[in-house]
Structure 1
């Protein structure tokens, strides 16, 4: 819906299926109207709806693109502001909200809106995964399988209703640990090749978190021009279950079966087909090519 047309407007995308998107919008809308903020809004029911949304920001004088949703909604919305100077704002309303967590965006929708209207921005890196953009983490292997299980879980919408969305990921881990088969992977980091056997997961991180607060790459920095890499390999299934509590604390990097690294251009191939996810969204299978795009995105902080 439009307010009166002026010099600039805020463009809101609200994911009705992402946690509490509609509830947050109902809290936000009266504030916008009361303050006389000019805006246009789009309501979607799932992140994939953005693939078919006909939206050309170059034809609208947009002050900021604001996402009311989670990491998946942000992921699919990046294509609207790629190669523009339009800043991205977030009012967290997903089940994980790991990108918002990395940006230190308040969970409180009023406080998050206040930051957006203040308009302080920072340029950060993005990850290019084959031909797609990613804000947080690319996962190869077990964590991608868990994301796939979680996204299709019938429990997830129910848990989101009671603000327990993180538990959907925990259930995904428990289900995946008994079905996923580790494999041998080759990872090339800036031209240097390494081979790992019995790999459970590889995380390539622009920011520290995924899965609703799992600190898989504690030292990842969104604006340092590199990605941090975590490889978990040669773990038994019981050891893997014990591994994830360490990840919440960011202490897993000291484990004997964890290798860490950093780089700018990463290529991963595997002995058997391995699932790939980015920002919690499924991107297909290996092989996968990952490149850092330095200072590529303007975000409101």
Structure 2
């Protein structure tokens, strides 16, 4: 007899991006649906068709807070970002994740199994739960726009790379070949030549102000890596209620090359032009508008941002 049956059995809601990973999302979902049907486990599924659909589906599924239930995302980091951003949160948010994208930074940071069915079983029959942080990014000096994120958000060079990657047709092909990190590195080299810098400052927890003359990028991390495995914040812990902020500021764009190489190998260390900070919230100002990203999704250009860490409000079975 299935232990999931009975008056207190949880309901499983899937939000699936079939296009994630250049079609990998569809293949992963077929395997999941087959397992769920074979074991007579009740579930509902929403398959997205375009950008924004996952956000709408998450809002509709959570605004009335049906309980008990688990919302499981099948897709990449961008799909998870949409679901988190669209969900109506009523305290602790029960979230599951089965990776099907190209970068999969979140699954890497949370040590989620790569094999689909093994990963699904972790969601259905968790041995214990992990309470995970998420971030909120406020855009603009008036902070009229807000975006949640689970991995990282920032502005400058890394956002420009994210924008170029999302627009490239080669991203999915290189990802399927296992060359996603190499693709992002080469794309970063191309973007570095024309990378724009700006004067500006950061304000940590409303107390400590640090000024910079040549900001190339600022990234705020809940999790250690971004961009498909570039570890810019090796000390970041997604459950400690704090963010790690990486600031790279230097007059020479060539300084970006050793930064990328170190991040690519996971051995990011302090060196000239790169500084690390830890805080619960940070306000960022740049004199010139710089591109902004949230979990790898391009959000236009801004001069003012504020990022805040929301501590341990997402519950994930592992």
TM-score, scaled relative to structure 1:
0.92
Within 1, Cα distance between the matches of 2:215 and 2:225?
Answer: 20
Counterpart residue number, 2:216:
200
- How far 1:62 sits from its partner (Å)? 5.0
Per-residue deviation, residues 77-104 of structure 1 (Å, max 9, x unmatched)? 0132522544111111111111111111
Within 2, Cα distance between the matches of 1:187 and 1:71?
Answer: 26
- How far 1:158 sits from its partner (Å)? 2.8
Within 2, Cα distance between the matches of 1:296 and 1:209?
Answer: 20
Query: What RMSD in Å do the two structures reach over aligned CA positions?
Result: 2.1
Counterpart residue number, 2:13:
11
Q: Equivalent residue of 1:272, what SS?
A: strand
User: Using a 3 Å threshold, how does the CA distance of structure 1 residues 163 and 24 change in structure 2: closer, same or farther?
Assistant: farther
| 1:69 maps to 2:75 | yes
Counterpart residue number, 2:142:
none
Within 1, Cα distance between the matches of 2:185 and 2:162?
Answer: 10
Per-residue deviation, residues 249-273 of structure 1 (Å, max 9, x unmatched)? 3333221211111111200010100
Q: Equivalent residue of 1:172, what SS?
A: helix
User: Using a 3 Å threshold, how does the CA distance of structure 1 residues 63 and 136 change in structure 2: closer, same or farther?
Assistant: same
Counterpart residue number, 1:289:
306
- How far 1:193 sits from its partner (Å)? 1.0
Within 1, Cα distance between the matches of 2:159 and 2:6?
Answer: 43
149-158 vs 43-52, greater mean Cα deviation: 43-52
Counterpart residue number, 2:31:
27
Counterpart residue number, 1:128:
136
| 1:41 maps to 2:45 | yes
Say which of 255, 265, 269 aligns to 2:271: 255
Within 1, Cα distance between the matches of 2:220 and 2:56?
Answer: 28
Q: Conserved in 1, the CA contact under 8 Å of 2:72 and 2:96?
A: yes
Say which of 88, 113, 116 aligns to 1:109: 116
Q: Conserved in 2, the CA contact under 8 Å of 1:217 and 1:250?
A: no
Counterpart residue number, 2:152:
137
Within 1, Cα distance between the matches of 2:46 and 2:6?
Answer: 17
- How far 1:121 sits from its partner (Å)? 1.8
Within 2, Cα distance between the matches of 1:250 and 1:164?
Answer: 16
- How far 1:161 sits from its partner (Å)? 4.1
**Residue correspondence of structure 1 range 141-152 to structure 2 within 5 A:** 141-152=156-167
Within 1, Cα distance between the matches of 2:67 and 2:162?
Answer: 36
Say which of 94, 97, 101 aligns to 2:104: 97
TM-score, scaled relative to structure 2:
0.87
260-269 vs 280-289, greater mean Cα deviation: 280-289
Q: Conserved in 2, the CA contact under 8 Å of 1:87 and 1:121?
A: no
Counterpart residue number, 1:180:
195
280-289 vs 80-89, greater mean Cα deviation: 80-89
Within 1, Cα distance between the matches of 2:69 and 2:251?
Answer: 49
Q: Equivalent residue of 1:124, what SS?
A: strand
For structure 2, the residue ranges without an aligned partner over 5 or more in a row are 139-145
Say which of 269, 278, 284 aligns to 2:294: 278
Q: Conserved in 2, the CA contact under 8 Å of 1:276 and 1:286?
A: no
85-94 vs 242-251, greater mean Cα deviation: 242-251
User: Using a 3 Å threshold, how does the CA distance of structure 1 residues 161 and 256 change in structure 2: closer, same or farther?
Assistant: closer
Q: Conserved in 2, the CA contact under 8 Å of 1:253 and 1:260?
A: no
User: Using a 3 Å threshold, how does the CA distance of structure 1 residues 35 and 99 change in structure 2: closer, same or farther?
Assistant: same
User: Size of the alignment, in residue pairs?
Assistant: 298
| 1:298 maps to 2:312 | no
Within 1, Cα distance between the matches of 2:91 and 2:196?
Answer: 42
- How far 1:59 sits from its partner (Å)? 5.6
- How far 1:5 sits from its partner (Å)? 11
Within 1, Cα distance between the matches of 2:65 and 2:274?
Answer: 48
